[in-house]
Structure 1
Amino acid sequence: MPMMRLTCTSLTLALALACSTVACAGQAPEPPGSGHRDIDKVNGGIKLPAGSSAGDVSTVNGGISLGDGSRAGQVENVNGGIDLGDSVTVESIEGVNGGIDAGKELQVKRGIETVNGGVRLAAGADVGGDLTTVNGSIELDHARIAGRIEIAAGSIDTGRGSHIGGIKVSKPGGSNWNNNRLPRVIIGPDSVVSGDIVLERETELYVHDSARIGAVRGGSARPYSGDRPELD
């Protein structure tokens, strides 16, 4: 997903959520979003208990927490973090200001995107689309990202044994952007990037000897062995 679209949709998301009405959560676990009422708030956090289900879950000001084994449709937040327990299933995740932290075996049918905030997915995450952030770090472990991972600033660490459709480091826009800190991408042991790695700005790219990647466009990779590269 292009970075330009992220910045354009952030305001749209905030306005849409601010105009929404408050609804109640559903109860019985079923496929995410099917037959369950949405939970919409403007001010205040949302907590979905373990093993429960809801439709779309969204808030403007406040955190979102989904308990172990819970299911939901689209999860959207403007100002606040998103915390997901183990074995959570959702349609998609979108945030503006706040990090996304998920437990083991997360299932996301479509994609994950945030503007300002990191994304940490514990072992076994399966994302059916792209994983995108503008400002923040992305940390994975034995994950499958069917689409592309994209950042403008921050870092990507695939961890061990992850499978990713492609990687892009976008050129940031805006006259006030701080270019002093270079983005960093680490392709960990036994990880696979099936598509290209596209670097639109100078990037520190480290690739483990056991990893397999596509073509690197716009830069070059530094090979490493062992658990971690020797960082500059």
Structure 2
Amino acid sequence: MFIRAYLRASTQEQNAERARESLVQFAANHGQRIAAFYVENVSGATLHRPELMKLIADSGEGDIVLVEQIDRLARLKQSDWDSLKQKLAAKRLAIVSPELPTSWLALEKKDDTGFTDSILRAVNAMMLDMLAAVARKDYEDRRRRQFQGIHKAKTEGKYQGRQPDLKRRQHIASLLKSGHSYSEIQEMLSCSRHIIASVAKEQRQADAVA
């Protein structure tokens, strides 16, 4: 049995690896270690996730998919969620999350009769479907409120679109100039490599002009 951790953030500005250490500690608390990490920045509303598909392809039968929260996997419309479950079931992969205590049994030694395993899968299937429905509803509710807010701002002539986090970008620029590495900046500011690279590019362009 191998444990493969899946880390996802919705946008390039978010740090998808934020939960890495907490998952390492969670596995250690259960006497386990994580064999591989699969990290990507992609919307939770789409099933087009190259790293998740790679995780499934790399997995052997009975491996474990470890996620920080179920919505890292399950913020999908029903048809896509059903498709993902089929892919996971084809290799008998178990989903484990710190937020779902019933899933933790997958980290323990199975009994010889397989009874515990059968009960675990039945209970988890029900819990996962419920959490997936909640995650999808939360996503749709937030999107609806966002669109309503944008529409109201446009109507009132106040909408300016998404603005960059200038304070964070200035902080990144300062750290780059002082010689900090991308990894160090990621850890210090909990930001993505994408935004660091973007700031570094701006710096190079400014230096070239100067």
Same fold (TM over 0.5): no
TM-score (normalised: structure 1): 0.23
Determine which structure has the larger helix proportion and give its number.
2
- Which structure dedicates a bigger proportion of its chain to strand? 1
Larger-Rg structure: 2
TM-score, length basis structure 2? 0.24
Which structure is richer in relative contact order (CA contacts within 8 A, separation 6 or more)? 2
